[in-house]
Amino acid sequence: MRDTQPTPLSRSELQARGLGSREIERALRDGLLVRLRRGWYGTPDLAPSLAHATRIGGRLSCISALESHGAWVIRSDLTHVRVGTGIAVPRRVDARLHWTHERARPGVDSPEVALAVAVQCVDRETLVAAVDSVLQRGILSAPEVDQILMSTPRGRAVRALVDGAAESGIESLVRLRLRAHRIRFRSQVTIAGVGRVDFLVGERLVVEVDGYAWHGDPNRFENDRRRDRQLLRRGYLVMRASYRQVIDDLDGLVEAILDVVRRREHRWRGVRRTELGTRRSLIDR
C-alpha cells in the first residue's frame, strides 16, 4: 500500500523524468503539479498531510505516518512532521514538529521510524489503538513492533496493553478504558447459539461496539437485532455503542457499564437463568 501512494518530487526527479524548466512551469500553470516548497512539487492527488509536511520542510512522521501506512488513528488533528535541524520552518506552523539531526528529505517515514517517534509523542490510548491496528492490519509484524517498543520504558508500558487481535480501534479504546477502571471482562467471547461478542463484562453483560464510522449494512442491522434477542433469551444483558459514541463519549459508555456492575447485574447470581430448550415443551403446549 505504501509504495503506490504519490510522493513529493524534487526538481531533479522531475528532470530525470524528462521535464525541463519550461515543462514544469506549464504543468504548474495547468494544475498538473503544485509547488510545495522551493525545489519540491506534488501532483494534485498527493495526500494533504504529506503536502503539508513537505511545505513545512520535513517528512510525514509519528502518528500521521502510521495513519498514512494504513493504521487506524483516533485523533489526527495535527500533522506530525519530522524536520532536520537547519531547515527554515515557517514561524507559525500548524503541525507537531519532531526535530532530528538527520536529513529529513520530504516523504513518509517508514512504519518502524514512525512508531519509534510516536512512542515518545502521543498519549497512551492513541498509541495502543494505533499499535493494535498496525499488528491487526499487518503493517508491522509482532517481532518488529516488540523490538521498537521494548527499547524504551514508555514503549514497554504500552507493549503490556497491546492486543493485535482487536478487530477495530474502537474496540481497543473500550478495552483500555475497562482495564483502567479495573472492570473484569473478556473480549471476543463466543456464546453458544449467538456467536462471538465484542466484550463480556463479568458473566452476563455483553457490550458490542460498531467498529466503523459508517453503518449502512442492512444485513448487519438485521443480524444485530437477531443477536440481541438471542442474548436476552439466554439471560444476557446487551449494551451497544456506536463508533461516534465511543469516540465522543467513552466516559458515558463506561459509566453505564459501571452502573450495571455496581448493581451486580453482570453476575449470574440471583438471576433466574433460562436454559433454552428446557421449557420448550411448556411454551409449545
**Which stretches of the chain bind Zn ion, using CB under 5 A?**
62, 80, 96, 121
Nearer to Zn ion, 27 or 121 (CB): 121
- The one-character DSSP state at 140 is S
Q: Compute the least distance from the CB of residue 251 to Zn ion, in Å.
A: 25
What value, to the nearest 5°, has the Cα angle with vertex 96 and ends 93 and 101? 100
Nearer to Zn ion, 93 or 271 (CB): 93
Q: Compute the least distance from the CB of residue 62 to Zn ion, in Å.
A: 3
Q: Compute the least distance from the CB of residue 46 to Zn ion, in Å.
A: 21
CA 36 to CA 86: how far, in whole Å? Answer: 18
CA 200 to CA 235: how far, in whole Å? Answer: 13
Name, in order, each residue with C-beta under 8 angstroms of 235's C-beta and a sequence gap of 6 or more.
204, 268, 271, 272, 273, 274
Nearer to Zn ion, 115 or 253 (CB): 115
Nearer to Zn ion, 53 or 200 (CB): 53
Q: Compute the least distance from the CB of residue 120 to Zn ion, in Å.
A: 8
Helices (H), 7-60: 11-16, 21-29, 48-56
Q: Compute the least distance from the CB of residue 63 to Zn ion, in Å.
A: 6
Least Cα distance to 188 among 173, 206, 204, 170 occurs for 206
Task: Find out whether 102 and 59 touch, Cβ atoms under 8 Å.
Answer: no
Helices (H), 181-264: 218-233, 243-248, 250-262
Nearer to Zn ion, 96 or 137 (CB): 96
138: Cα within 13 Å, side-chain hemisphere: 1
Nearer to Zn ion, 121 or 247 (CB): 121
